[in-house]
Amino acid sequence: MNASEPAKQTETILDVTAIMDILPHRYPFILVDRIIELTPMERVLGLKNVTINEPFFVGHFPGHPVMPGVLILEALAQAGGLMLSGSENDPAGKLVYFTGIDNVKFRRPVVPGDQLKLAVEMVKFRRNFCKMHGKALVNDELACEGDLSAALVEK
């Protein structure tokens, strides 16, 4: 997976309906619109279309809307959760708990009209715990990157 290559807009592995069958998140907290590449337990490439209709723009910041960095990280974590759940026979019976972040850097603001490309790769998986590295890009420009930790647990 090369996160800097343009995404093929017609290629959809999981649409938002399939994503909601896997993730427990719902509006306004589902932050992945589509998965365009998925290799379970290895890598995932997802998309998040950022619109002015996002509820967080009301207060962050009035007159100068910027997507909160913590929500960019949450979008990466959700994409990572989809990568983990893709390895399960019954993904609906599992939950992915985000357990930590390290080495996070924000490189550019994310604003309405941007499309976030969410690239997450598995670094290490042992038992039900994993470390992943995620990058969020806008127009092939790095917006955010960091190391994410998660646990895969029974519901």
**Predicted local confidence at residue 85, as pLDDT:** 85
Q: Report the distance separating Cα 137 and Cα 119, nearest Å.
A: 8
Q: Report the distance separating Cα 149 and Cα 124, nearest Å.
A: 9
Is the pLDDT at 9 greater than 60, yes or no? Answer: no
Tens-place pLDDT, residues 99-124: 999 999 999 999 999 999 999 999 99
Mean pLDDT of the chain: 92
Q: How many residues does the structure list for the chain?
A: 155
Is the pLDDT at 17 greater than 60, yes or no? Answer: yes
Give the residue from 78, 7, 76 showing the smallest Cα distance to 37. Answer: 7
Task: Enter the DSSP assignment of 25.
Answer: -
CATH architecture entry for 16-154: Roll (3.10)
Q: How confident is the model at residue 11 (pLDDT cuts 50, 70, 90)?
A: confident
Tens-place pLDDT, residues 82-102: 999 876 666 667 889 999 999
Taking the domains of the chain in order of start, what are their residue ranges? 16-154
What amino acid positions are annotated as catalytic residues?
60
pTM recorded for the entire structure: 0.91
Q: Report the distance separating Cα 148 and Cα 123, nearest Å.
A: 9
**Predicted local confidence at residue 155, as pLDDT:** 85
Collapse the DSSP code of 121 into the 3-class scheme (helix H, G, I; strand E, B; otherwise coil) and give the result. strand
